Structure 1
Amino acid sequence: MQLDDATFQAHEGYMNHVLRCGSCYPPTNRYCSIGTGLHDQYTGQYLMSQDLYARRTYLARLESVNPARCEALKAVMLAIHERAQSLYSPENAA
């Protein structure tokens, strides 16, 4: 699987943390506060590289299991979207 640059960077940051952190254990979705943020950033970046149907399906499944995590992930994805929009805005084109 080929990841875009932003998703690859988020993945590397996430993996570098969880492989060294004694509190994070991904198979059981147990993360420290830093690991949670990195996991959300990576997941958000990955989902933003997918189509709308894949994003909605993932979020719907997550919301039924963990509504709080779903809302946090939505906030991360919104921030990623807004950052991308500001990069391509007419003010930045000049």
Structure 2
Amino acid sequence: MSAGSGEYIAYHAHLMTCRSCYAPTSRYCDVGRDLRLQAEAAFIASLKTLPERRYWRALEEKNHPENMVRLDELIKQKYRGQVNG
């Protein structure tokens, strides 16, 4: 994840205050999980090459397969916004 992105800053701020979220064990409340996915999607969409995006997406799929439908939606949304914006 890109430490400078607004999505990452929101995710990190939430982690520091939420007693339900604990990132080292991938335990998140609903809000924390959505913020993590937003930050991950922003990072993947910001990568310059398709092989980089595929690599990071595959890594996420390996570690968190339960989140892939939502993550794919967010990546497409953010990537289209960058290309069209």
Given the two structures, how large is their TM-score scaled by the length of structure 1? Answer: 0.74
Specify the alignment match of 1:92 in structure 2. Answer: none
TM superposition shift of 1:53: 1.0
Residue 25 (structure 1) aligned with residue 22 (structure 2)? yes
Aligned identity (percent) is 27
Task: Provide the C-alpha distance between the structure 2 equivalents of 1:64 and 1:26, rounded to a whole number of angstroms.
Answer: 17
Specify the alignment match of 1:66 in structure 2. Answer: 64
Specify the alignment match of 2:82 in structure 1. Answer: 84
Task: Provide the C-alpha distance between the structure 1 equivalents of 2:62 and 2:12, rounded to a whole number of angstroms.
Answer: 26
Task: Provide the C-alpha distance between the structure 1 equivalents of 2:74 and 2:45, rounded to a whole number of angstroms.
Answer: 10
Give the 3-state SS of the residue equivalent to 2:19 in structure 1. coil
The structure with the largest alpha-carbon Rg is: 1
Given the two structures, how large is their TM-score scaled by the length of structure 2? Answer: 0.81
TM superposition shift of 1:65: 4.2
Give the superposed CA RMSD.
2.0
TM superposition shift of 1:85: 4.3
TM superposition shift of 1:14: 0.5
Gap regions ≥5 residues in structure 1: 88-94
Give the total of aligned pairs: 83
Task: Provide the C-alpha distance between the structure 2 equivalents of 1:81 and 1:49, rounded to a whole number of angstroms.
Answer: 7
My pick for the range that moved more, 11-20 or 66-75, is 66-75
Gap regions ≥5 residues in structure 2: none
Amino acid at match of 1:14: Y
